[in-house]
């Protein structure tokens, strides 16, 4: 009985995962301090060279991990890692 062959190619990392990893590293390293405001979506899209959808997905993932807190009408703020 032969096992199905698994591709040895590494899994491709999505743009969202790259933005998440970058922002997470900035937060955990202290580059972005707790209480500081994240740049606006247009600034982040330009900084990372991605769409607003990618930025929104990354922010949602980091919010779910407890690293960011969106505040209605005020922006997105960094929480303590």
Alpha helices in the chain (DSSP H): 15-29, 41-48, 52-64
Residue 2 lies in a domain: no
Q: How many CA atoms lie within 13 A of 7 on its CB side?
A: 4
> Which tokens sit at 59?
């922010």
* Domain membership of residue 54 as a residue range: 15-78
pTM of the model: 0.80
CATH no. for residue 66?
1.10.10.10
Domain-embedded: residue 42: yes
Q: Which residues pair with 75 in a beta bridge?
A: 71
Please indicate, yes or no, if residue 7 is contained in any of the structural domains: no
Domain presence at residue 4: no
- Residue 56 CA, distance from chain mean position: 8
Predicted confidence pLDDT, tens digits, the chain (81 residues):
566 666 566 777 799 999 999 999 999 999 999 999 999 999 999 999 999 999 999 999 999 999 999 999 999 999 987
Domains of the chain: total: 1
51 located within any domain: yes
Distance, CA of 64 to CA of 11 (rounded, Å): 23
CB atoms within 10 A of CB 33: 9
């Amino acid at each position: 009985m032969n096992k199905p062959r698994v591709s040895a190619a590494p899994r491709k990392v999505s743009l969202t995962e790259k933005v998440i990893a970058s922002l997470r590293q900035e937060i955990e390293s202290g580059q972005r301090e707790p209480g500081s405001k994240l740049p606006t979506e247009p600034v982040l899209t330009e900084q990372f060279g991605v769409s607003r959808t990618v930025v929104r997905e990354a922010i949602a993932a980091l919010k779910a991990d407890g690293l960011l807190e969106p505040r209605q009408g005020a922006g997105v703020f960094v929480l303590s890692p």
